[in-house]
Structure 1
Amino acid sequence: MDAVAQAGRARAAPAGEPPRFLPPEARVEMPGQPLHAPRQPRSLQALRPRRLSWRRAFIVLATIAMTAFAAEQMYLVLSVSSLTVLEGTVLVLFVILFAWIAFSFANAAVGFVLTLSGYDRTLGIDPNAPLPNLRNRHALLVPTYNEEPGRLFARLQATYESVADTGRLDSFDVFVLSDTTDPATWLNEEKQYLALIERTGSRRIFYRHRRDNVARKAGNIGDWVTRFGGHYDSMVILDADSLMTGDAVVRLAAAIEQHPDVGLVQTLPIIVNGGTVFARLQQFAGRLYGPMLARGIAWWFGTESNYWGHNAAIRVKAFAAHAGLPELRGRKPFGGHILSHDFVEAALMRRGGWAIMMAPSLRGSYEETPPSITEFAARDRRWCQGNLQHLKILPARGLHFISRLHFLIGIGAYITAPLWFVFLIVGILISLQAHFIRPEYFAKGFTLFPVWPEEDPIRAAYVFGATMAMLIAPKFMALIAALFTGAERHGFGGGFRMIASTIVEILLSALIAPSMMIFQSMAVLSVLAGRDAGWNVQRRDDGSLPFSELLRRYGPLTLVGLLLATAAYAVSFSLFLWMTPVTVGLSLSMPLAALTAKRGLKSLLVVPEGRIPPAVLTRANELGNELVGGDVALRDALTDHGEVTQAHLSQLAPPPAHAPGDVDRDLVIARARLDEFDSIDQALKLLSTREKRSVMSDPEAFRALVALARS
């Protein structure tokens, strides 16, 4: 902490000087990129892993070989006599879905071998090597949108102090980039910002609020780049729920400095602070399986890796020159601003000649996860729309074929859900056909022998078992790799606890999977029907729902599960058993959603960061306990916190110029109504949220609101 205090004293503001929310601007042009443009040549040979083409060929050929063998076996199962239309449909769906499983299995197998071999050395990043020095200036960006300010600034301060402890703080400026639309949250962000400046004494932490949330997060980052990017070599981007050690931040910035052809370095964020059963389930799965899978994909991604939107370092000049996103033609949800901007930005930067790298073994990168199935599904709906929107970007000219593959993988992650659902329904129809429709043993015309409708049940059992084994095998690979690593085994609570936790994770995930299949299928249909997901605030600490809400969301799933089970049992007991993995999960969806949103299973699903938390996580949680609950209501902020309102007023920009007749209607209406109100309570009750926000964005109107509050 001495480093923080020393740095703070060195940059403390003179007594009586008002807080400076922003530094001087250093503007950078960031033109929108056309989708159809040639790829810019650039030699990345020095950065490309050895035999990268062979690596990619291995993944593709392994996927094709496994899929071809499985397709042949499934064909033999279905075509003992002849192949009907329904059976042909099942075969086609099976091949598509098995190819997805085989692709994941091939990646996992590679990751398993690499994990047993030890750390990788991507870009020379060695977590055990001495921390490098930095020559250039870098920025740490924290975009936020209506997040709880106490937790946001607790994580920010913990990361800031961790960077200070490295002795490299002078190379970094920190920016909170707010797109918050809720007026009370906006003022509380400024309150927390002022308190952070007072605690640290820092003149290197800044706060900027956007008047208009154009293009959402991509527009938020783009606005910063165009206004301040000229000061910095790179930007390390965090999400509102992200946390990073100073060691990781410095190593990322150093990688950008040391490799002039690298445009982006992505880390693997580890989930932390899981409190509910569902969050701890995601946390355990991500911590045990994630590093192995990340090693596998990084092995063949090479210089064409991907970007996940946060916990990554980006070269500012490369981003500004090539990552300006175009607005897609057409109506939402496929048209308009690009939602899943990160994939597209990485693809455009690679098209511009910059290497996109992944550092899966760099420690100290953390994030949080939604606390319940409900919140996870809500976030998944937004991601679904963003990934399906990439269908319009796939034909873009000049993209590297691996960048196109990233888009296809993202699209496939959601398209497979309705395909699994259709596969299930067609399988049921085949069983119903066999049970209720009398077979025609003798076809029309002369024939000496009957045609017996048959399938091969023994081979079918082998195919089903092999498919399930390939789905589960990556989890056991990761378990075995961790069991053979003493530090990991100890971090997960020992071998027996690891094995028990893995079994629990597999069982609970299998029960939750049918509900997620339905939710994702509905999301895909919703997007295809033209419905926009919007931009909702994510709950992070509590996922519980009242019974009425549980019944509304999960009652239909429960009913579907019970009806399917009853229908299957009426047809045959074997069909009932075959349907059990789906029907049980759907029938129990309500209690599963309720129970997994609560705390529990404390003796299982243990992760190393939970048993021995890293210092930055401990510090963030300590600060969170201190800061959460310190927010004030909008009325109290206006009446009793003069330093906050004065600081807010001091950083408001003059109203932007506009064309004749193009006015802010919310502001015009709000100012007219302010003249009629008798009290602040009346104003806050009758003004809409949009009108309050317009008032808070306009210096003259905000002065009128404060005067009303203090009259």
Structure 2
Amino acid sequence: MSQTAEIVLDRAAAQDVAPEPAMPPRAPLAMPVQDLRTASPPARRGGGGPLAARLFVFGGALLLTVYGAWQMYEVISVSGGATWLQYVLLVLFVLNFSWIALAFTGALVGFASLLRAGPAAPIPTSLSTRTAIVMPVYNEGSARVFAGLQAMHESVAATGLGAHFDWFVLSDSTQADAWVAEERAFRQLRAELGPDARLYYRHREKNHHRKAGNIAGFVTGWGGAYDHMLVLDADSLLTGDCIVRLTAAMEADPDVGIVQSLPLIINRNTLFARLQQFAARIYGPVIATGLSVWSGRDGNYWGHNAIIRMRAFAEAAGLPDLKGRPPFGGHILSHDFVEAALIRRAGWGVTMLPRLEGSYEESPPSLIDLAVRDRRWAQGNLQHARVIGAAGLAPASRQHFATGIAGYVASPLWLAQLVIGLIIVLQTAWVRPEYFSAEFGLYPVWPRFDPVRALQLFALTMGILLAPKFLGLILALLDGRVRQASGGAGRLTASFLIEILLSALIAPIAMVVQSGSVFQILAGRDTGWNPQRRDDGSIPLSDIIRRHRWHTVLGIVTGIGAFAIATSLFLWMSPTILGLVLAIPLSWASGQLALGLALKRRGLLVTPEEETPPAIATRACALAARNAARGFDDADALAALHADPDLARDHAAMLPEGRSRPRGQIDPDHTLARAKIVEAETLTEAQGWLSPRERFALLHDRALLDQLTRLNPV
């Protein structure tokens, strides 16, 4: 037989060999839906948090709030009494003040804890359990997703404990090009890592219940094979040491259900993202440590960069649908808080390791990108009003829900406080006093303020609001490594001042945006589910103007009104007015890469992770550049499948078996895709005729895929 004939036979035989399964054998694990109205007594509880820390945090916040309320009353009752409008102002002030007072006392606990923190424990040298590392993705760029995954896989392998971990990409992507790009990247990475990599991939046809449903589907299908799962986001990056330490912490405490790490933001270069990155690095540990101390085993879960005991999650975290329609009904958007509360309700501990190094993530590159993500979080957190009263929850879990809700309700409360204050000042300046009221009095009822007390109360409020940032700065200045890696004491302090100034200008914009989100939710408007933009880059100026034009108008009108009433009022409100008036240029500047890099070159807003980049981040960036050069994310899905029979074969093999729709129910997209692909004679015709939804439907049908591969190229 000739050599050419042997090659032909080898190729034919290779096509007949079944591809390696994209997923391991199924290992089902029951995950019952939980009842929020009833709860069985937990089999374990194991204590919550230190009583002394909780008394200090909540007792101290209560005392501060009472003092602030008394001072505010003294401010508004200088004339011997207060009007009903002033009492409304007092209530709004107390609600807002209590929120910042609680953050302040929690930060004090975190500051004290970090001051006396000892060295980290040594890295474990052995493990006895199996862990699934799962990365849910939704229309993400495959180059970056699989670069991060490969970097983490290599880092874990370097610890010598890689045999204890399996890796899963769980796709909910709804775009045909993104789906096929993921499959191409998966096949490429699996080939590079070799047969022992234990790398798997699954795509869901219907992204039921979004990320929570994606994770639950994995648990019910394959969870029985694993002791734990480590949940990632598409932008997560954890070192091998961090992953091993999280797993060891889970093994060391058989009654813990979740161990959460504190992700630091890295790889960010736009102005807005660098502000977030600096704030998270310098202030974040103080706040997170305080939360960890008083929460104890009643902690919270942020949905990623955390390890979860599979048994605890399956038995306790099956989420019910809330009655009614979105935005308050339907499936739970901010599922992580609820899963943590239900796991704690079942008696499992939920803890945090805020000092654990090697846990990273990224952040939105601009103010508008943050607003898009924040809109979904606002709806999810407000949904928690339907869950906070669930039976059997630990008091700390209810507090986590309350904190999450307050984080978004605070914006409309602040806005209402400003509006009421403006009305009262307007009434004082322009409305004539009522000399003959229904009640007897020697003097007219005329709302007045004590300016000295008002200034003192303002100073107290600002001090409490900014104290967690000052505490973070103090710790950074005391830590020689952090201080030097952040540019030295001078540049670190300058960066601190820049962050405070820009945050103060951005805060009014965020307040109005969040208030609008809350009002939309209360009006019954659902957010949907949009993929997050993660790359650095600017937004077209026309979009920025469209999104912020009314914020600018509001700032101008408020400024003119305040100045017309009193110059002192204008000066008092000037930070809010200035932020709103500058909404368009501030939002534009927030997404500018050049501005962020200019500050970086001058050593400002620099973090230690930039001065000495983590090896895993450097490796992930290099792999992402290499992956991007392959062009998977830029390719047309139909063209890629048509050009590569092996890819088409593997794609078909990864599709689930059985009918995806009940008999007799017609899917319009599938029906149209079938009609068009049958009539098409060339790939070019098929590409031109099929809509995005029809392409997606075609990719789920083996027969239509076969028809696609038989088309002439042009």
Same fold, judged at TM 0.5 (above):
yes
Once the two structures are superposed, what CA deviation does each residue of 1:87-125 show, in whole Å capped at 9, x if it has no partner?
Answer: 111101001100001000001111111111124xxxxxx
- Paired with 1:619 and 1:128, the residues of 2 have a C-alpha distance of 26
- What's 1:628 paired with? 628
**Greater mean deviation of Cα atoms: 614-623 or 694-703:** 694-703
Asked whether the equivalents of residues 271 and 366 of structure 1 are also in contact (C-alpha less than 8 Å), the reply is yes
Superposition TM-score, scaled by structure 1 size: 0.94
Measured after TM superposition, the shift of residue 130 of structure 1 is 3.2
Aligned amino acid, residue 616 of structure 1: I
Asked whether the 8 Å contact 1:39–1:353 carries over to 2, the reply is no
The CA deviation string for residues 108-146 of structure 1, in whole angstroms up to 9 with x for no partner, is 111111111124xxxxxx744132411121111010000
Q: Equivalent residue of 1:675, what SS?
A: helix
Contact 2:38-2:392 at 8 Å conserved across structures: yes
Instruction: Report the Cα distance in structure 1 between the residues aligned to 2:688 and 2:550, rounded to whole angstroms.
Output: 38
Match of 2:6 in 1: none
Q: What is the match of residue 3 of structure 1?
A: none
Partner of 1:174: 167
Residue in structure 2 matched with residue 123 of structure 1 by the alignment = none
Secondary structure of residue in 2 paired with 1:556: helix
**Counterpart Cα distance in 2 of 1:371 and 1:382:** 17
Matching residue of 2:147: 154
1:460-475 to structure 2, matched below 5 A, reads 460-475=454-469
**1:605-684 correspondence runs (5 A):** 605-629=605-629, 630-631=631-632, 632-656=635-659, 658-684=661-687
Could you tell me how far 1:37 is from its partner in structure 2?
Answer: 2.2
1:535 maps to 2:529: yes
Q: 1:207 aligns with which of 184, 198, 201?
A: 201
**Distance between the aligned counterparts of 2:639 and 2:241, measured in 1?**
40
Unaligned runs of at least 5 residues, structure 2:
1-13
Amino acid aligned to 2:292 = A
The CA deviation at 1:310 is 0.2
Gaps of 5+ in 1: 1-12, 120-125
* Correspondence for 1:545: 539
Deviates more, 1:195-204 or 1:441-450: 441-450
Q: Aligned equivalents of 1:449 and 1:366: distance in 2?
A: 64
8 Å contact 2:48–2:298 — kept in the other structure?
A: no
Match of 1:139 in 2: 132
Q: 2:242 aligns with which of 226, 241, 248?
A: 248
**Letter matched to residue 98 of structure 1:** F
Deviations 1:591-615 (A, max 9, x none): 1111121122212100011110111
| TM-score, normalised via structure 2 length | 0.94
1:59 counterpart residue number: 57
Q: Distance in 2 between matches of 1:448 and 1:497?
A: 60
Q: Report if aligned partners of 1:19, 1:194 keep a CA contact under 8 Å in 2.
A: no
Partner of 2:77: 79
1:224 alignment partner in structure 2: 218
Residues 461-480 of structure 1: CA deviation (Å, up to 9, x unaligned) = 00011101111111111101
Pick the aligned partner of 1:196 from 165, 175, 189. Answer: 189
Query: Quick check: 1:306–1:346 contact (8 Å CA) kept in 2?
Result: yes
Over 3 Å counting, the alpha-carbon distance change for 1:655 and 1:680 in structure 2 is farther
CA-atom RMSD, angstroms?
A: 1.9
| CA deviation after TM superposition for structure 1 residue 25, in Å | 0.8
Residue matched to 1:410: 404
CA distance in 2, matches of 1:701, 1:395: 50
Asked if residue 68 in structure 1 is aligned to residue 66 in structure 2, the reply is yes
Q: Is the 8 A contact 1:39 1:399 kept in 2?
A: no
Between the two proteins, the alignment pairs up a number of residues equal to 690
Matched-pair contact (CA < 8 Å) for 1:304–1:357: yes
2:689 aligns to what? 686
Cα gap change, 1:591 to 1:19, in 2 (>3 Å): same
Q: Deviations over 1:523-566 (max 9, x none)?
A: 00111111111010111113412222121111111111111111
Q: 1:279 matched to which residue of 2?
A: 273
**Corresponding position of 1:4:** none
Deviation at 1:277, TM superposition (A): 0.6
Closer, same or farther in 2 for the Cα pair 1:25/1:575, shift >3 Å?
same
Instruction: Measure how far apart 1:232 and its partner are.
Output: 0.5
Partner SS state of residue 332, structure 2: coil
Q: Map of 1:392-431 to 2, 5 A cutoff?
A: 392-431=386-425
Alpha carbons of 1:192 and 1:583: their partners in 2 closer, same or farther (altered >3 Å)? Answer: same
Post-superposition CA distance 1:340-364 (Å, at most 9, x none): 0101111111111111111111111
Q: Distance in 2 between matches of 1:449 and 1:425?
A: 27
The answer to whether residue 31 in structure 2 is matched with residue 30 in structure 1 is yes
Contact 1:132 1:251 in 2 (8 A): no
**Is 1:512 the equivalent of 2:531?**
no
Q: For 2:613 and 2:192, how far apart are their aligned partners in 1?
A: 24
For 1:444 and 1:419, locate their aligned partners in 2 and report how far apart those are by CA, in whole Å.
Answer: 32
Cα distance between partner residues in 1 of 2:237 and 2:712: 38
SS of structure 2 residue aligned to 1:395: coil
Could you tell me which residue of structure 2 aligns to residue 8 of structure 1?
none
Residues in 2 aligned to 1:217 and 1:379: alpha-carbon distance in whole angstroms: 14
Give the whole-Å Cα distance in 2 for the aligned partners of 1:445 and 1:128. 71
Deviations 1:421-463 (A, max 9, x none): 0000011101111111122356568765566653211011000
